[in-house]
Structures are given as structure tokens and as C-alpha cells.
Structure 1
């Protein structure tokens, strides 16, 4: 990074953060503290209102705004594709904001950069699929849940599980304190404290119904940070299957959440899954048909065979 780019980047960092030490800036830009001192001096001489507080660091004078920033073609394309992504995946509120943002970005771009960005952007496309029917339902809940998170209000909804609970029920009513939303493998997932289970649980928005905003408040735990949160890994059961070459690509490209390893063999693939319960793989294995064979555990082999026998009796 040359000096001019670094000076601009330092101002951007100071705008994003209230106070930064010279050591912090040196680490960010992989340079020496002495170089940062010289950069700060250069910014001050150029009229940038940088304030230095001994023992604390540097900050921008309140009310200082960076002059308009110019974008390269690549940066403009990244921003415009970002607005497309937000419109496609987020709720209606942010969808409308992404459209207005796109218009503003395009309006301030110089004509040559705008034309080139438009040409490059046409080589990318976010495809709408049949799954968008489910995504419409997700979007309907996304805005309400997002508001509840920001306002720290509890919500209640009916939730459908893929696998029945011990009591045989697949549906239950949950009252939760919503902590955050995660986009995981194309599906929105709510991370929340569940009053029924008395622990943090994960809920797919696509499996929710009858969502209700509650007046009850909650306080986000001081030690919970969504950006570093890691759910406990309780997938302790390994399932291994042999996949014939004719559907090897299909299984590999399925991006199944439970896949742990995929090994190539002359006779196809050897795929290892790690699950909480083998039932979580039942529908996938049945959908792959006779081109896959369950190797272990033996109990799951019997479960697949029993399901196939039931299917055969229907025909």
C-alpha cells in the first residue's frame, strides 16, 4: 500500500473507531509506529482534524467528515453486487434500502467507471429458484425477528422439527429471547434462548409459523457475542456410505451439512457423516436410491431397509 492510499485508509479507520493508538494503526497497516507518526503529521498538515491524546491515541475532531471517496471499477462492482445480494436474501425493509443505495452509488460514479461496472455486473447473476417459495416465508419473519432482536423483546412461534421428539411430536410452541440471525447454507437460522429447553437453541425460519411479537423484555447476556459464538458440537455418531460413480457428483455437490469427509475410490465415493441421530440422514439416503449403500452403523442399515420395505408394500 502506498502512502497516499494509507493516509486515506487511516482516516477511514479513525472514522470507524473513536480512538486508535499508533500501535493499533501500525498493526493494521503492517508498518512501523514511526511511519504512523509521520502519516498523522502529514494528515494534520493537509487539514485533517486529527487529535492526539497522550496515553490514549488519535481521534478525529467531532463533526469532521471525509470528502467524497472515489471507487475503482472493482470496488464499485463489489458494492453493486452487494446490493443485489441484500435485496435477494434480506427482508423487504433492507431490500428497499439496497435499491435506493444502488441508485445513489450509480449516480455518483463517473460515467466511464459506471459503464464498466455495469458491463462487469452483467456477467453475474443471482438465480431465483423454487426454493424462493420458502424464502418468501423466511423474509416475512426476518423483519419481525430483526426488530425483536434490536428492541430486546421475546417472540413466540410454532416450530416444526424434522425428527420427532421423544414424545413423538414434531411440533411445539416456543417462547424465546432472540439473540441473533445467521445465514447458513442458504437458510436463515435464529440463535435464541429457548424457555422450553432452558438453553440456547437454533431455529430455521423456514420451519416457523404463527410468529407473535411479545411485550416481554430480555437482556442479552454480557458474555454472548454472535460474531464469535460457536454452538456445542454434539454430533457424536458417524455414518458411512458407499456411493456409486453415477451419482458421485450429486452427493458431493449436495453440500450436506453433516458430511465430514469424502474419499475417492475406484468404485465411487466413501462418504463419512457425523450426526446426532442417523435419522437426520434418512431422507437423503433414500433420495439417493440404490446408488448408495450404508456401511455403518448396522442399526441405520436396518432402518433404511425397513423404510424401503414399507415403501415397497405401498406398491
Structure 2
């Protein structure tokens, strides 16, 4: 990136946040702090009203804005890819808002860029997991309202379907973050009914109301702290160690995280993977699909379950064969 492009990018970066640290700009643009200071000084000399606060960073004085910025072809293409993800992996409230934002972006593109996006549109598709087994779209599950409540520290009141029988519970919760895994969005919150942190599937929230009452988050985990606590908690979790033949690990590149991968170790022709799992029997069923390319190292309970499952399968097909 030449200096003119970098100065423009720094100015845009400064306008994207209230305060930007010099270290943040140095990391993003892969330049030294000295170069950051020099570039900021150059912008100030060019008439850009940049203020600074010791120990915090730089900021643009209120009232200053750049004229509309043109997007590059690569930036516009990236936004199109993002729109495909939003379409399949968020609810209707987010989809509608993002579509409005994307229309504004398209409005400032030149004709060639617009044609490029129209052509690219048909060549990108996103499926959530198995397209045959997963719903093709999320219900309208209040994600926009949830985001506002998280930022504003507002207590939410929800009717939640906590099991497959559709039993509803009325809860007041203090939301701390949204987390996507296992093909669904999950709201992590402190539940006043259960007096503890709970993981709520957003598509099981039947009704939601923002009470407008604020809560004190100083005694609550951040989302990052909550997720970190899960890694170090062995409550209702089983540690499993597996040895995989190395050629197979490529097929496991995504599935290993779905199954609860914690760490992996390259042993040459094999790879040791360590997992934390909630349901040991379910985990073993999935691992059996890898056949003789995987070996259970630990625990003994998992070895016994795998042997039991194999014996059940063998007995089943003996019975099927005998019926022919």
C-alpha cells in the first residue's frame, strides 16, 4: 500500500471509532509507531482536525466527515459474500437491515462494479450444514432486539421453549453475548430464574420483551470470559484423546471443532486430538464413521462404548442377513 492510500485508510479508520490507539493502526497497517505518528501529523497538516488524548489515542473532532468513499471491486465482492452468509445464518430482522445497507453500498458503485456484482451473485451459495436436514432460514427470532439489549445492558423477558415437548418458561435474563455454533445462534445470559448463566437457543425464544431496566454488568462475565470458563470447566464434560492417521485429518478439518476439539498434536504419521464432550455415547457413534483410521486412547469408558456399539451393529446385520 502506497502512502497516499495508507493516509486515506487511516483517515477512514479514525472515523470508524471514537478513539483509535496508535498501536491499533500500527498493527492493522503493518507499520511502526513512528510511521503512525508521522502519518497522523501529515493528515493534521493537510487540515484534518485530529485530536489526541494521552493514554487513549487519536480522534476526529466532531463535525468532520469524509465525502462518500468509492468501494473497490474486491470490497464490494466481499460485501456480497457477507450478504450470502447473512441470508442463511441470521434471522429476518438482521437480513432486512443488512439488505438495506447493501443497497446503499450498491448505490455508490459505478456501472462496471454493479455489473460485476450482478454476475457474481449467481455463483455464490451458502448452506447451513446439511441442506437436506437443516431449515433453510431462521425464524424471526429477535436478534436485532437482542443486540441492542446486550449493548445497552437491558434486562430481557422471554418465553423460552426449553425442551422438545414445547414446554414454555417465563424468564428474566441479563444478556452478555451472542454465539454461533452447531448450526444455531445462542444467547448467553444470566438467568434470574435459575440464578446462573444459561445458553439459550435464539430460535427457541417464542416471545421477547425489552424491559428497559438496566443491569450492573460489573459482576457478570463478558462473553469471552464465559467461553473461556467453559474450556476450563469439567462439569458434565468428558475428556477424550484420539489418534488419527494423518491423511484422514484433512476430512476432519471442520468436524473436529463441531465435536469439541480442545487441542491437537502432530506426531508424524499420526495426529493426537483432545476433545471435551458432553455426551460420550453420541461422540463415539460419530467417531466410528472414521473406521480403522482412528484409535481411542482415553478414556477406557469410551473404548468400552465403541466396542459395545460395534457389537450392536454386528448383531443387527447378522439378524438382517438371517432374514434373507
TM-score, reference length from structure 1: 0.71
Q: CA distance change for structure 1 residues 178 and 108 in 2, over 3 Å: closer, same or farther?
A: same
Q: Is 2:46 the partner of 1:46?
A: yes
Structure 1 residues 175-218: Cα deviation after superposition (integer angstroms, max 9, x where no partner): 33222111125321221113455332323345x36455474845
Q: CA distance change for structure 1 residues 156 and 55 in 2, over 3 Å: closer, same or farther?
A: closer
Shift of 1:80: 2.0
- For 1:232, the equivalent position in structure 2 comes to 230
Residues 50-65 of structure 1: pairs in structure 2 closer than 5 A: 50-51=50-51, 58-65=58-65
Q: Is 2:125 the partner of 1:125?
A: yes
Q: Any unmatched runs of 5+ in structure 2?
A: none
Structure 1 residues 136-190: Cα deviation after superposition (integer angstroms, max 9, x where no partner): 34x43545544554543243413238xxxxxxx9988473322211112532122
Residues 95-106 of structure 1: pairs in structure 2 closer than 5 A: 95-106=95-106
Shift of 1:4: 0.8
Q: CA distance change for structure 1 residues 11 and 303 in 2, over 3 Å: closer, same or farther?
A: same
Partners of 2:59 and 2:119 in 1: CA distance: 40
TM-score, reference length from structure 2: 0.69
Partners of 1:40 and 1:290 in 2: CA distance: 59
Q: Is 2:90 the partner of 1:90?
A: yes
Partners of 1:265 and 1:56 in 2: CA distance: 47
RMSD of aligned Cα (Å): 4.5
Equivalent of 2:180 in 183, 192, 200: 183
Residues 142-181 of structure 1: pairs in structure 2 closer than 5 A: 142-143=143-144, 145-146=146-147, 148-149=149-150, 150=152, 151-160=154-163, 173=169, 175=171, 176-181=173-178
Shift of 1:135: 4.8
Shift of 1:109: 0.9
Q: CA distance change for structure 1 residues 231 and 126 in 2, over 3 Å: closer, same or farther?
A: same
Q: Any unmatched runs of 5+ in structure 1?
A: 162-168
Equivalent of 2:196 in 199, 223, 230: 199
Partners of 1:28 and 1:244 in 2: CA distance: 38
Residues 8-27 of structure 1: pairs in structure 2 closer than 5 A: 8-20=8-20, 25=25
SS in 2 for 1:133: coil
Number of residues of Structure 1 aligned to a counterpart in Structure 2: 303
